[in-house]
Amino acid sequence: MPEPTVDPVVNETPDEPNAAQVARSGNEVAARSPFQLVWTRLRRDPTAMVSASVILLVIIAAIAAPLIAAWVGHGPDEQFRKEGLTPSGLPTGPNEEFLLGADNLGRDLFVRLIYGAQLSLIVAFVATVGALGIGTLVGMTAGFMRGKVDTVLTWLMDTTLSLPQLLFAISLVSLVGPSFGTTVIVIILFSWAPIARVVRGQTLSIREREFVEAARSLGASNWRIMRVDVLPNLVVPILVYGTLLIPQAIVFEATLSFLGLGVLPPTATWGNMLAAASTGSMYTIAWWMLVFPSAALLSVTLAFNLLGDSVRDALDPRQTLFAKKRRVKKLKTKEIAK
């Protein structure tokens, strides 16, 4: 199978002295561990810092949703037909009462937006953790054990990847009934396979590395090697994939809700708020119903995507101009000793 598009590369430190090794020379500079190096690089990246701030802001807002609702004085599902709708029944735009306007049922858009954030984030995190867990387990086992286990697991991955995502999700949900739980399960169902493939690929190359051979020569069991030697080297690709998966999950949930197959109203999610905006072309009259949820959706997912890219760059400095190559001395003897 061809390599997946996301290919987080395990960082290969050059053989020549780098900042982390500065401590060994006479001049005393504190030694820096790989984690510290990555953190320092991230801190210097403005995009990463801005994205991280946005995400933090949204998380805080989501946690504080009930407080905000209390402060504004409107609940997320309360319909204010008198204040929220014009005499002819159309929603009112942004004013002092409704900070971001009201929707077609007179509900406060601002408050609903915050509650929507709560939901989107919870779905995304739960689904991501679930998909990462399953994907890593399957991928690592397949890549390390090889043989029949690998064949079966890879076939399972391929089949899941061949399923038309949206179609299947729609069929499944329409049969089982839309809900929060179904949405999470559906997202996990479709997200574990690409992760498993990436993890499998990484495991395949890790298992050829000399330190795995060394562990074997020490008498380590397969499980020990997987746990102690392979898994720590998978942390990087998993982390990177995780940051990419979260926004995908948010988008998936929003799409399902938009189609009426995710979380149903009156619970507020950005997806079904946008659905309400597009029914009957409501957005042509009430532009705020389209713009604000879209902006919220866009900023959060964009922030996650940019942060993910920055994390990947910080973990793999080869992606910048100054790249040093590792020296290859006579390592040719490896070719036969396989």
Partner 1 sequence: MLLTVENLDVTFNTGDGPLHAVRGISFELDHGQTLGVVGESGSGKSVSTQAMVGLAAGAHVTGRALLQGRDLLTMNPAELSAIRGPQIGMVFQDPLSSLHPQFRIGWQIAEAIQRHERGSAKNVRARVIKLLDEVGIPDPDKRIDDYPHQFSGGMRQRVMIALALALRPALLVADEPTTALDVTVQAQLLDLMQDLQREHGTAILMITHDLGVVAGVADNVITMYGGRIVERGTRTEVLGNPHHPYSKGLLGSVPRGGSQRTELQSIPGQPMSLLIDQPGCPFAERCAFVQDACLDSFPDARDISPTQKSNCILPADFAGPVVLPTIPAAETELAKSGDILARISDVRIEFDGARKGLLGLTRDKITAVDGVSLDIRAGETLGIVGESGSGKSTLARALTGLIPLSGGTIEFEGHDISTFTAAQRHSLRRDVQMVFQDPFGSLNQQRRVGSIIADPLVIHKIADGKALRTRVQELMEIVGLNPEHFNRFPAEFSGGQRQRIGIARALALNPKLIVCDEPVSALDVSIQAQILNLLSSLQRELGLTYVFIAHDLAVVEHIAARVAVMYHGKIVETGPVEQIYGAPSHEYTRSLLAAAPHLDDVAAEAAAALTMKIDEAR
Partner 2 sequence: MIRFLSRRILSGVLTLFAISGVMFLLFYVAPNDPAATIAGPQATNDQIDQVRARLGLDMPILERYWLFITGLFQGDLGYSYFNKEPVLDSLVRRLPATASLALGGLVVALALGVTIGIGAARKPGSWRDKLGTTFVLTGLSVPTFVAGLILLYVFFYLLTVMGLTFFPAAGYVPFTENPFEWARHLILPWITVGFVAAATYARLVRSQLVSVMGEDYIRTARSKGIREGRVVYRHGMRNVLTPVVTQISLDFAVLMGGLVVTERIFGINGIGRLAIDSVNRGDQPVIIGAMLLASLFVVIASILVDLAYAMLDSRVRVK
Sole window of 16-24, 102-110, 218-226, 292-300 interacting with partner 2 (rule: CB under 8 A): 292-300
**Beta carbons within 10 angstroms of residue 133's beta carbon:** 14
Sequence-distant (≥ 6) Cβ neighbours of residue 123 within 8 angstroms:
180, 183, 184, 187, 249, 250, 253, 263
Sequence-distant (≥ 6) Cβ neighbours of residue 186 within 8 angstroms:
169, 172, 173, 252, 256
Smallest separation, CB 238 to partner 1 (Å)? 12
Smallest separation, CB 183 to partner 1 (Å)? 35
Considering the rule CB under 8 A, would residue 205 count as an interface residue with partner 2? no
Binding partner 1 by CB under 8 A: which of 135, 247, 308, 317? 317
Considering the rule CB under 8 A, would residue 28 count as an interface residue with partner 1? no
Considering the rule CB under 8 A, would residue 220 count as an interface residue with partner 1? yes
The DSSP call for residue 234 is H
Q: In the range 248-277, which residues lie near partner 2 by CB under 8 A?
A: 251, 254-255, 258-259, 271, 274, 277
Considering the rule CB under 8 A, would residue 309 count as an interface residue with partner 2? yes
Closer CB to partner 1, 151 or 278, in the complex: 151
Residue 266: is the preceding peptide bond cis (ω within 30°)?
A: yes
Considering the rule CB under 8 A, would residue 318 count as an interface residue with partner 1? no
- Collapse the DSSP code of 110 into the 3-class scheme (helix H, G, I; strand E, B; otherwise coil) and give the result: helix
Considering the rule CB under 8 A, would residue 239 count as an interface residue with partner 1? no
x/- track of binding to partner 2 for residues 34-73 (CB under 8 A): -------------x--------------------------
For 104, 105, 256, 277, 290, the CA distances from 110, given in Å and listed in that order, are 14, 14, 22, 15, 13
Considering the rule CB under 8 A, would residue 158 count as an interface residue with partner 1? no
- Collapse the DSSP code of 102 into the 3-class scheme (helix H, G, I; strand E, B; otherwise coil) and give the result: strand
- 77 close to 108: Cβ distance less than 8 angstroms: no
Smallest separation, CB 309 to partner 1 (Å)? 16
**Beta carbons within 10 angstroms of residue 43's beta carbon:** 12
Binding partner 2 by CB under 8 A: which of 306, 311, 314, 315? 306
Sole window of 21-29, 58-66, 285-293, 304-312 interacting with partner 1 (rule: CB under 8 A): 21-29
Considering the rule CB under 8 A, would residue 331 count as an interface residue with partner 2? no
Smallest separation, CB 147 to partner 1 (Å)? 14
Considering the rule CB under 8 A, would residue 305 count as an interface residue with partner 2? yes
| Beta bridge partners of residue 91, listed in sequence order | 85
Alpha-carbon dihedral angle through residues 37, 43, 44, 47, given to the nearest 10 degrees: 130
Considering the rule CB under 8 A, would residue 127 count as an interface residue with partner 2? no
Closer CB to partner 2, 136 or 160, in the complex: 160
- 231 close to 171: Cβ distance less than 8 angstroms: no
Backbone angles phi, psi at 85, to 5 degrees: -115, 150
- Collapse the DSSP code of 241 into the 3-class scheme (helix H, G, I; strand E, B; otherwise coil) and give the result: helix
Binding partner 1 by CB under 8 A: which of 1, 18, 67, 171? 18
Considering the rule CB under 8 A, would residue 216 count as an interface residue with partner 2? no
Size of the site for partner 1 (CB under 8 A): 55
Rounded-to-integer distance, Cα 198 and Cα 320, Å:
23
Residues lying near partner 1 in the complex (CB under 8 A)? 11, 13, 15-27, 31-34, 41, 44, 209-211, 213-220, 224, 228-229, 232-233, 235, 317, 320-322, 326-338
